[in-house]
């Protein structure tokens, strides 16, 4: 399939930010989007908005920390629209801190959401893609894994783990499966919401107000990778504000 129209795309972390922007853009271009996130109310409102605009969308409550929820998301896509063409592993959190602050609970949460959640999504989608003979995994990572800076060590480690995983998946998979990494820089989202340090949250929100780009910019990058002909794989896209270091 060339382009976006009629492709079935499942998106995690779809209730806000990059996930929601991606859902709206892809639906506007003719994709059938299946949205997963923890907030049923937000998902329902987004599906209603897409439907009112003439798009095709459905949702299922999805907590990527639970493997069964990812299996349910993929199964729901098949039941509702007959197949799954693309999985966008977008769900992520970033309660960043100094390593010597020993915020171990936050470390565990980032590993569970950012890394294991991505693995669970891949585990759910790969059997479907094998049966179909085609499929596309899009992993939303971060520029934090490209430039290592203080306070983001564990967060960057989870993102770089996904980067390594993606390259291995690309090399191991059979013809017909594409793998794309999208690494956003500072984006205007609720990224700081998961931060447990009030001072850190305030600093990140201030920086975001000053320089962040819109989530629609990332959505366009994801759409670019998806719309390529089947024999073209876009491996990595880095997209960030022009003023970001």
Residues with active-site annotation: 155
Q: Please, where are the H alpha helices in the chain?
A: 17-28, 40-52, 67-81, 104-110, 117-132, 153-172, 198-211, 215-226
CB 139 within 8 A of CB 180: yes
CA–CA dist 93, 91 (Å, integer)? 7
| Segment (H or E) for 57 | strand 56-61
CA 17, chain centre distance (Å): 10
Give the Cα-Cα-Cα angle 92, 244, 236 (nearest 5 degrees).
55
């Amino acid at each position: 399939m060339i382009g976006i129209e009629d492709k079935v795309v499942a998106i995690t972390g779809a209730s806000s930010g990059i996930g929601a922007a991606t859902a709206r853009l892809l639906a506007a271009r003719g994709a059938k989007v299946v949205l997963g996130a923890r907030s049923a109310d937000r998902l329902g409102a987004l599906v209603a908005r897409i439907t009112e605009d003439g798009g095709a969308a459905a949702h299922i409550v999805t907590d990527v920390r639970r493997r069964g929820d990812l299996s349910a998301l993929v199964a729901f896509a098949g039941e509702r629209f007959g197949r799954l063409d693309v999985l966008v592993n977008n769900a992520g959190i970033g309660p960043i801190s100094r390593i010597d602050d020993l915020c171990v609970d936050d470390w565990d949460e980032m590993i569970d959401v950012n890394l294991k959640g991505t693995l669970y999504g891949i585990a759910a989608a790969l059997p479907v893609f094998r049966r179909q003979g085609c499929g596309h995994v899009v992993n939303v990572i971060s520029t934090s894994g490209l430039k290592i800076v203080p306070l983001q060590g564990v967060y960057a480690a989870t993102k770089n783990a996904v980067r390594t995983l993606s390259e291995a998946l690309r090399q191991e998979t059979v013809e017909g499966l594409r793998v794309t990494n999208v690494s956003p820089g500072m984006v205007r989202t609720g990224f700081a919401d998961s931060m447990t340090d009030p001072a850190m949250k305030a600093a990140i929100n201030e920086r975001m107000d000053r320089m962040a780009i819109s989530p629609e910019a990332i959505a366009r990058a994801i759409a670019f990778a998806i719309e390529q002909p089947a024999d073209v794989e876009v491996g990595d896209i880095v997209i960030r504000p022009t003023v970001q270091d």
